[in-house]
Structure 1
Amino acid sequence: MRSVAGVSIRDALVFLARRRPGGDIGGKWEFPGGKCEEGEGDETAVLREFREEFGLSVTAGAIIGKSSFANNGKTYELAAIQVLFEGEPPFLHEHVACRWVGAEELVKIDLADSDRSLLPFVLPLLVVS
């Protein structure tokens, strides 16, 4: 199965959202995204997820990295896709909070394990030049 994570970076900060309590990753922070629907490409999936979860219209960029993880006996291929959006989310559908964090906080925050596997691809993008 395939899943996507949208990675949005502004001024050396990355956008994270905190899941509602409950389930395997309840209360954890994540790069927003989710499972690809049948016949759906990665870019289309990340656009849909941001629209459904935050009411945001985003622009999808390059895939910055891939990893895999297991959940409930199924193996998922996870693609991290760079996304751009203006402003802040008008609503939170599956999350209780969102915020922008720098590299130092990102490595310490209670991040979902599947998204932690993407840190080698994300952290180099947060370097201030």
Structure 2
Amino acid sequence: MPSPLPAAAAAAAEIVTGMAVQAPPVAVSRALRRAELYSRTARVLGRRLEVAGELVDVRRELRVGDLLRVRPDGGPALLRPVAMHLRVRATDPTPVLEIVHGPLTGATVSFRVDGDPAGAVVRCTVGRPGRMPARRIRAGAGVLLGIATLLAREPLVVVAGVVVDADRVLAARRAAPSAHAGGWEFPGGKVEPGEEEDAALVRELREELGITVRVGERVGPDVDLGGSAVLRCRVATVRSGTPTPQAGDHDRIRWLKGEELTEVDWLPADLAVLPDVRALLAATATAAENRAERAHDDRPDNAG
């Protein structure tokens, strides 16, 4: 369980609630940007959350300009049964929200995350809180930070496709961001909150390479990417389309055989799974040879 820190008013014009979290700061910041955090907090407080008029889609992060509508929905009376609207003013590195309708109109909600990879301290500051009792504001902030702790501890999965064609595997060269440009990888991307890994890989490869794939078994163990994120590789085979770099993520692709895997400059995380990919290609080639031999032996002219 998270360890509460003493809440204190930094000044008469703001109320601060803090909590220690056993998760890296980057994971905590990522949790604070997730729409799911605010939806779950609203439910606990007996509210319903809508974003820009639609029921919240937990599969995305908050965006600047989003309007969060918090409406009464029964449940506990921790807050008065009135509606509240919050506008997202910033999201990087953590959200800044302004209350534009309701009993705290004009108040702002912001976050600060400090710490190191072993743990973080997150503070929620409500500026210009008006006349609402501080204990109610701190209670609501405490619920939000507690749920943020749970989300921060969930690993972010980056799923990559080991796209195979007989004895070859597809490699893609990064064009962006600049820190990864020129490095080769197995293409893919992050699994969004609430999304299945298979669906995420199908979506990413369609967006990045313009192909539709069938997703198979895992390849190798998870690779630690830091910040509670892991790289998870899955076998994929092309069902339709020709791999072509899309949307500026990659600028080149290559089909590589097992003995050619060392010919490109792999990104560190993808380099870690090369032994497993090489073994997969070898097993695939052996299986193909065995099928060819059985087909040859079964031919009528080979009988007797």
Q: TM-score, normalised by structure 2?
A: 0.39
1:59-74 → structure 2 map (5 Å cutoff): 59-71=214-226, 74=227
Could you tell me which residue of structure 2 aligns to residue 78 of structure 1? Answer: 231
**Matched residue of 1:3: which SS?**
strand
Could you tell me which residue of structure 1 aligns to residue 274 of structure 2? Answer: 119
Contact persistence 2:213–2:236 (CA under 8 A) = yes
- Tell whether 2:198 aligns with 1:43: yes
Distance 1:91 1:18 in 2: 9
Query: Which of 223, 239, 242 is the equivalent residue of 1:88?
Result: 242
Distance 2:275 2:244 in 1: 30
Question: Where does structure 1 differ by over 4 angstroms across 4 or more consecutive aligned residues?
Answer: none
Count of matched residue positions in the alignment of Structure 1 and Structure 2: 127
Could you tell me which residue of structure 2 aligns to residue 2 of structure 1? Answer: 157
Letter in 2 for 1:114: A
Distance 2:171 2:222 in 1: 18
Q: 1:6-53: CA deviations, max 9, x gaps? A: 001113111011111543211111100111111112111110100111
Higher relative contact order (Cα pairs below 8 Å, separated by 6+ residues): 1
Superposition deviation, residue 90 in structure 1:
4.6
Deviates more, 1:82-91 or 1:96-105: 82-91
Deviates more, 1:21-30 or 1:44-53: 21-30
**More helix by proportion, 1 or 2?**
2
Contact persistence 1:2–1:36 (CA under 8 A) = yes
Letter in 2 for 1:112: L
For the pair shown, the structure with the greater C-alpha radius of gyration is 2
Contact persistence 2:209–2:246 (CA under 8 A) = yes
**Matched residue of 1:83: which SS?**
strand
Contact persistence 2:220–2:273 (CA under 8 A) = yes
Contact persistence 2:245–2:253 (CA under 8 A) = no
Query: Which of 3, 11, 17 is the equivalent residue of 2:172?
Result: 17
- Tell whether 2:202 aligns with 1:55: no
Q: Which runs of 5+ in 2 are unaligned?
A: 1-155, 287-304
Q: Which runs of 5+ in 1 are unaligned?
A: none
- Tell whether 2:265 aligns with 1:110: yes
Letter in 2 for 1:12: D
Letter in 1 for 2:236: V
Distance 2:271 2:205 in 1: 20
**Matched residue of 2:212: which SS?**
coil
RMSD of aligned C-alpha atoms? 1.7
Q: TM-score, normalised by structure 1?
A: 0.87
